[in-house]
């Protein structure tokens, strides 16, 4: 039986990349399995939580990505096997599931931090995770795995702690967002900050800016789906007879036109989301994602990855226009230029960005085999087969076991 450690810990004072500090950074986490086994850190996506697997308790009323958001990939006997690995997932600073962020109470004032909380970056997440792992007595990691912006977080480990992790797996991620995604994120944030109830982020004693957050979430959902998946799921169909337009005000003429299935879906998803997520956290986390640039401070992606001593698996999806196959391939080329052992595994899918969550049967095998055998893993494919010949790496038998790791040796 897999044991579960669910807690919130203080890692003490913490200075963020912006230069501001907090005296007591608190981080909520869940850890599964035996701490003496090789440790795999799983990094959650934008609105995800530390509850990555269906093995721990979680707060009442939470749903969606807040609860067991990768339960088909992480767990006993699954791709990230909690029977063989010690798996840790940390709620990142700025989020709203127990870690320090805008919604958490400031001990000095007794009120929520709101927008007085320092701006956060992906590097802040990485450093905070390292601090918590140190507190837990975890040294060098066997692997860091993450999806979406969690994949950016995983990738950042290869740069921030290049000798601290053996294998890094960014799934449906990229070295940076493209301008189209930056634009859509900006519109989503403006939906929140122009909601009259936002009150410059000081809304915790009154009505929450639910309309703004609802619209922001709906924009996000459109980004996560592909044209093909939307056509298959919704087409131009009208919503069911009992569906009503009561989520937002509508103009008088709306009664003449159909309330479409796609509208009803977006309204339903928004209604569920606003019950579990903090609007200020949405602002903070999207800005962290937008800001991330692998090459920042280095010049090129290859130079950023040059010191990484481990192996890299990039998993991309053909229907994903949020983080595209082309972006992952460019990152793979940079890793090859830096002589980092890398495989770019492309999954054929029309599910869009959500594929990393909804197609575990395609994600699990390459992740499982990469964790066991690196780029030589049996189910791992690479867009550049000649890469194996160029580097002289040979495929090893899939042993089905993970090596025990020595102590962390970063300077």
Domains of the chain by residue range: 4-176+288-391, 181-279
Round to whole Å and give the CA distance between 313 and 292. 19
pTM for the complete prediction? 0.91
- Structural tokens at position 130: 């390292």
Which residue among the candidates 185, 211, 320, 373 is catalytic per the annotation? 320
Which residue among the candidates 49, 100, 148, 349 is catalytic per the annotation? 148
Q: Identify whether the C-beta of residue 348 lies closer than 8 Å to the C-beta of residue 318.
A: yes
Residues 6+ apart with CB under 8 A from 231: none
Round to whole Å and give the CA distance between 43 and 129. 9
Active site residue 351: no
Predicted local distance difference test score (pLDDT) of residue 40: 98
Predicted local distance difference test score (pLDDT) of residue 65: 57
Containing H/E element for 347? strand 342-347
3-state SS string for 2-45: CCEEEEEEECCCEECCCCCEECCCEEEEEEECCCCCCEEEEECC
Active site residue 148: yes
Which CATH code of 3.40.50.2300, 3.40.980.10, 3.40.630.40, 3.40.50.1820 fits the domain covering 4-176+288-391? Answer: 3.40.50.1820
Rg (CA), the chain: 21
Round to whole Å and give the CA distance between 81 and 74. 6
Predicted local distance difference test score (pLDDT) of residue 399: 39
Tell me phi and psi for residue 99, to 5 degrees.
-80, 160
Q: pLDDT by residue for the chain (411 residues), tens digit each?
A: 678 999 999 999 999 999 999 999 999 999 999 999 999 999 999 999 999 998 755 544 454 556 789 999 999 999 999 999 999 999 999 999 999 999 999 888 899 999 999 999 999 999 999 999 999 999 999 999 999 999 999 999 999 999 999 999 999 999 999 999 999 999 999 999 999 999 999 999 999 999 999 999 999 999 999 999 999 999 999 987 777 788 888 888 988 999 999 999 999 999 999 999 999 999 999 999 999 999 999 999 999 999 999 999 999 999 999 999 999 999 999 999 999 999 999 999 999 999 999 999 999 999 999 999 999 999 999 998 744 554 554 443 333 445 544 444 343
Does the domain at residues 181-279 carry the CATH identifier 1.10.1740.110? yes
Active site residue 353: yes
Helices (H), 139-247: 149-160, 179-193, 210-224, 227-233
Which residue among the candidates 86, 142, 221, 353 is catalytic per the annotation? 353
Round to whole Å and give the CA distance between 53 and 51. 6
Residues 6+ apart with CB under 8 A from 260: 234, 236, 237, 238, 239
């Amino acid at each position: 039986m897999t044991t579960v450690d669910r807690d919130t810990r203080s890692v003490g004072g913490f200075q963020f990349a912006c230069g501001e500090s907090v005296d007591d950074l608190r981080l909520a986490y869940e850890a599964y399995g035996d701490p003496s086994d090789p440790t795999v850190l799983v990094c959650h996506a934008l609105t995800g939580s530390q509850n990555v697997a269906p093995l721990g308790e979680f707060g009442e009323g939470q749903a969606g990505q807040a609860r067991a958001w990768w339960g088909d990939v992480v767990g006993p006997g699954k791709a990230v096997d909690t029977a063989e690995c010690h798996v840790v997932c940390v709620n990142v600073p700025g989020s709203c599931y127990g870690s320090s962020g805008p919604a958490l109470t400031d001990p000095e004032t007794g009120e929520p931090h709101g927008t007085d909380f320092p701006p956060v970056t992906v590097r802040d997440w990485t450093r905070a995770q390292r601090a918590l792992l140190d507190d837990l007595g975890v040294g060098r990691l066997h692997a860091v795995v993450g999806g979406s912006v969690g994949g950016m977080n995983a990738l950042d480990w290869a740069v921030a702690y290049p000798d601290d992790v053996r294998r890094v797996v960014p799934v449906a991620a990229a070295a940076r967002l493209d301008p189209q995604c930056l634009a859509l994120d900006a519109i989503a944030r403006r939906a929140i900050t122009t909601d009259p109830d936002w009150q410059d982020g000081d809304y915790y004693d009154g009505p929450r800016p639910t309309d703004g957050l609802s619209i922001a979430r709906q924009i996000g959902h459109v980004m996560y789906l592909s044209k093909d998946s939307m056509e298959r799921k919704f087409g131009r169909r009208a919503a069911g007879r009992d569906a009503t337009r009561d989520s937002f005000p509508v103009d008088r003429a709306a009664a003449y036109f159909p309330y479409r299935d796609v509208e009803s879906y977006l309204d339903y998803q928004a209604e569920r989301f606003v019950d579990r997520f903090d609007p200020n956290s949405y602002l903070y986390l999207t800005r962290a994602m937008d800001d991330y640039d692998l090459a920042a401070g280095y010049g090129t992606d290859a130079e950023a990855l040059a010191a990484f001593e481990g192996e890299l698996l990039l998993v991309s999806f053909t229907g994903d226009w949020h983080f595209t196959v082309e972006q992952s391939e460019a990152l793979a080329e940079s890793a090859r230029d830096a002589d980092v052992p890398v495989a770019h595994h492309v999954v054929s899918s029309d599910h869009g960005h959500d594929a990393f969550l909804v197609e575990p049967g395609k994600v699990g095998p390459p992740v499982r085999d990469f964790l066991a055998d690196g780029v030589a893993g049996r189910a791992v494919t690479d867009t550049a087969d000649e890469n194996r010949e160029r580097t002289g790496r040979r495929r090893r038998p899939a042993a089905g076991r993970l090596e025990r790791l020595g102590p962390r040796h970063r300077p």
